[in-house]
Chain A
Amino acid sequence: MESSIQDATILLGHWSVFGAFVLAGWAAIAGALGGAARSFAMTKSAERAVLAATGFTLLAAACLVRGFLSDDFRLDYVYLYSSTSQALPYKIAALWGGQAGSLLLWVALLAVMASIMVLTNRRHNRALMPWAVAVVATTMAFFLLLLNVVEPPFRMGPMRPDGVGLNPQLKNYWMMIHPPTLYVGYVGFTIPFAFGIAALITRRTGDLWFRTTRRWTLCAWTFLGTGILLGSYWAYIELGWGGYWAWDPVENASLMPWLTGTAFLHSVMIQERKGMLKVWNALLVILTFCLSIFGTFLTRSGIISSVHSFATSNIGPFFVTFLFLAFFGSLVLLILRLGDLRSEARLESILSREASFLFNNMIFVGIAGTVLLLTTFPILSELFTGRKVTMGPPIFNMVNVPWALVLLLLAGVGPLVAWRKASTVNLKRNFAGPVLIGTWVLLLLLFRDVRGYLSAVGKTFAAMGQLDLALALERVQAFYPPLTFAIGAFVTATVVSEFWRGTRIRMRHHDESGAIALGRLVSRNKRRYGGYIVHLAMVTIFFGIAGSSAYRHESVHSLVPGEILEVGPYWMRYDQLRLVAEEDHIGAIVEASLFDAKDGTVLAKLAPEQRLHPNLQFEELRSAFVEARRLGQEGSPEYQRSVVGLFGLIRSLESRAQREVKTPSTEVAIHASWSLMHPARLAEDFYVIPVGIDPDTGQASFRVFINPMVNLIWFGGLLFVAGSILGVLPDARERNRLAGALALEDRAIA
Chain B
Amino acid sequence: MDGRQTKFVLIGAGMLISMTVLIVAGMGRSGGFSYYLTVSEFLVDPRPADDRYRVNGKVVQGSIDRLPSGHDVRFAMSDGTRSLGVHYNGIIPDTFVDGADVVVQGHLGADGTFQAHTLLAKCPSKYESADGAEGAAAPY
A359 touches B34 (CB 8 A): no
Inside 8 A of A350's CB, which chain B residues have their CB?
Answer: 4, 7-8, 11
Query: Would you list which residues of chain A between 384 and 417 have a CB under 8 Å from chain B?
Result: 387-399, 402-403
- Note all chain B residues with C-beta closer than 8 A to A312: 131-133
Of the A-B pairs whose beta carbons lie under 8 Å apart in the complex, a sample of 6, sorted by A's number, is A80-B128, A182-B140, A370-B23, A469-B21, A658-B61, A663-B94
Q: Are A558 and B69 in contact (CB under 8 A)?
A: yes
Chain A residues numbered 318-351 whose CB sits less than 8 Å from any CB in chain B: 346-350
Please report which residues of chain B, range 36-54, place their CB below 8 angstroms from some CB of chain A when the two chains form the complex. Answer: 36-37, 54
Most buried by B among A395, A473, A701: A395
Contact A240:B34 (CB < 8 A) given known A99-B133, A299-B140: no
B122-138 CB contacts (< 8 Å) to partner A: 122-123, 126-129, 131-136, 138
- Chain A residues 673 to 718 lying within 8 A of chain B, measured CB to CB, are 689, 691-694, 700-701, 703
Provide the A344-384 mask, 1 if CB < 8 A to any CB of B, else 0: 00111110000100110011001001100110001000000
Q: CB < 8 Å: which of B15, B22, B92, B140 contacts A398?
A: B22
Q: Is B86 an interface residue (CB 8 A)?
A: no
Stretch of A191-199, A300-308, A545-553 contacting B (4+ beta carbons < 8 Å): A300-308
Is A314 part of the binding interface, using a Cβ–Cβ cutoff of 8 Å? Answer: yes
Report B-chain residues with C-beta under 8 Å of the C-beta of A167: 123, 127, 136, 139
User: Nearest CB to that of B12 among chain A residues?
Assistant: A362
Contact with A along B10-26 (1 / 0, CB 8 A): 01100110010111111
Say whether, besides A558-B69, A691-B71, A99 and B129 are in contact (CB < 8 Å).
Answer: yes
When the two chains form their complex, are residues B19 and A366 in contact, meaning their CB atoms are under 8 A apart? yes
| Total A-B Cβ pairs within 8 A | 184
Binary per-residue interface labels of chain A (448-491) against chain B in the complex, 1 for a CB within 8 Å, 0 otherwise: 00000000000000000000011001100000000000000000
**A389 close to B140 (CB less than 8 A):** no
Contact call B29/A389, Cβ cutoff below 8 A: no
- A302–B134 touching, CB < 8 Å: yes
For the complex formed, measure the closest distance between the CB of B26 and the CB atoms of chain A, giving whole angstroms. Answer: 3
* Residues in chain A near residue B16, CB distance under 8 A: 366
Within residues 34 to 50 of chain A, which ones have a CB less than 8 A from any CB in chain B?
none
Pick the contact of A701 from B27, B30, B70, B138 — CB < 8 Å?
Answer: B70
Q: Is the CB of A363 within 8 A of B15?
A: yes
Known contacts being A309-B133, A374-B23, A558-B70, is A388 close to B35, with CB within 8 Å? yes
> Once the chains bind, are B132 and A309 in contact (CB under 8 Å)?
yes
Question: What range describes how many residues of A lie at the interface?
Answer: 35 or more
In angstroms, Cα B93 to Cα A169, docked, is 12
- A652 within 8 A of partner (CB): no
Alpha-carbon gap, A349 to B139, bound state (A): 48
- Give chain B residues whose Cβ lies under 8 Å from the Cβ of A393: 31
| A252 is an interface residue with CB less than 8 A from chain B | no
Q: Are B134 and A99 in contact (CB under 8 A)?
A: yes
B76 located at the interface, meaning its Cβ lies under 8 Å from any Cβ of chain A in the complex: no
Q: Shortest CB–CB separation between residue A89 and chain B, in angstroms?
A: 16
State how many angstroms separate the Cβ of A577 from the closest Cβ of chain B: 14
How far is B8's CA from A362's CA once the two chains are assembled, in angstroms? Answer: 11
* Residue numbers in B under 8 Å from A179 (CB-CB): 139-140
Q: How far is the CA of A469 from the CA of B25 in the complex (A)?
A: 7
Asked if B98 and A390 sit within 8 Å, CB to CB, the answer is: no
Known contacts A80-B129, A399-B23; is-contact A691 B70 (Cβ 8 Å): yes
Find chain A residues with CB under 8 A from B19 CB: 366, 369-370, 399, 403
A593 to B42, CA, bound (A): 47
Contact A300 B69 (CB under 8 A): no
> Is A392 within 8 A of B32, CB to CB?
yes
Given contacts A394-B29, A399-B26, A691-B71, contact A663 B36 (CB under 8 A): no
Q: B139 contacts which of A169, A556, A659, A660 (Cβ < 8 Å)?
A: A169
Give the complex CA separation of A378 and B34 in angstroms: 10
A374 to B129, CA, bound (A): 29
Tell me if A398 and B29 are in contact (CB < 8 A): yes
CA distance A703 to B99 in the complex (A): 26
Specify which of B25, B35, B123 is in contact with A470 (CB 8 Å cutoff): B25
Question: Do the beta carbons of A395 and B27 come within 8 Å of each other?
Answer: yes
Distance (whole angstroms) from the CB of A714 to the closest CB of chain B? 19
Closest chain A residue, CB of each to CB of B22? A399
Q: Contact size class for B?
A: 35 or more
Determine whether the beta carbon of A302 is less than 8 Å from that of B133: yes
- Nearest 6 pairs of A and B residues by beta carbon: A692-B70, A395-B26, A398-B26, A302-B133, A313-B133, A388-B36
Q: Which A-chain residue is minimally distant from B70 (CB atoms)? A: A692
> A175-B139, A392-B31 known; A347 and B8 CB under 8 Å?
yes
Q: Cα distance A693–B92 when bound, in Å?
A: 12
Contact (Cβ within 8 A) A402 B22? yes
B29 in complex: contacting residue of A362, A395, A655, CB < 8 Å: A395
Please state if A305 and B135 are interface contacts (CB–CB under 8 Å): yes
| B66 at the binding interface (Cβ < 8 Å) | yes
Query: Please, how many angstroms separate the alpha-carbon atoms of A228 and B7 in the complex?
Result: 36
A665 at the interface (CB under 8 A from B): yes
Q: Is the CB of A347 within 8 A of B4?
A: yes
With a CB–CB cut-off of 8 A, which chain A residues contact B31?
A: 392-394
A663 to B137, CA, bound (A): 13
Question: A301–B133 contact, CB under 8 A?
Answer: yes
Chain A residues near B131 (CB, 8 Å)? 312-314
Q: Kindly state the separation between the CA atoms of A166 and B33 in the bound complex, as whole angstroms.
A: 34
Indicate if A503 sits at the interface (CB-CB under 8 A). Answer: no
Smallest CB separation, B136 vs chain A (Å): 5
CB neighbours (8 Å) of A689 from chain B are 91
A378 to B32, CA, bound (A): 12
Other contacts beyond A167-B127, A388-B35: 14, CB < 8 A = A76-B129, A98-B129, A299-B134, A301-B133, A313-B134, A366-B16, A366-B19, A373-B23, A389-B35, A659-B62, A664-B94, A691-B71, A692-B66, A703-B91
List of A residues within 8 angstroms of B12 by Cβ: 362
A659 contacts which of B99, B127, B128, B138 (Cβ < 8 Å)? B99
Is there an interface contact between B92 and A470, defined as CB atoms closer than 8 Å? no
Cα distance A183–B53 in the bound complex, in angstroms: 35
Assembled-state Cα–Cα distance A22/B118 (Å):
50
- Binary interface encoding of chain A residues 238-277 relative to chain B, with 1 for a CB under 8 A from any of its CBs, else 0: 0011000000001000000000000000000000000000
Query: Which of B11, B27, B30, B70 has the most C-beta atoms of chain A within 10 angstroms of its own C-beta?
Result: B70
Chain B: minimal CB distance from A451 (Å)? 25
A308 nearest CB across to chain B (Å):
11
**Closest chain B residue, CB of each to CB of A391:** B33
| Interface assignment of B112: CB less than 8 Å from any CB of chain A | no
Whether A392 lies near B71 (C-beta < 8 A) is no
| Residue pair A390, B54 in contact (C-beta under 8 Å) | yes
Give the docked Cα–Cα distance between A681 and B91 (Å): 26
A226 at the interface (CB under 8 A from B): no
Interface membership of A139, Cβ < 8 A: no
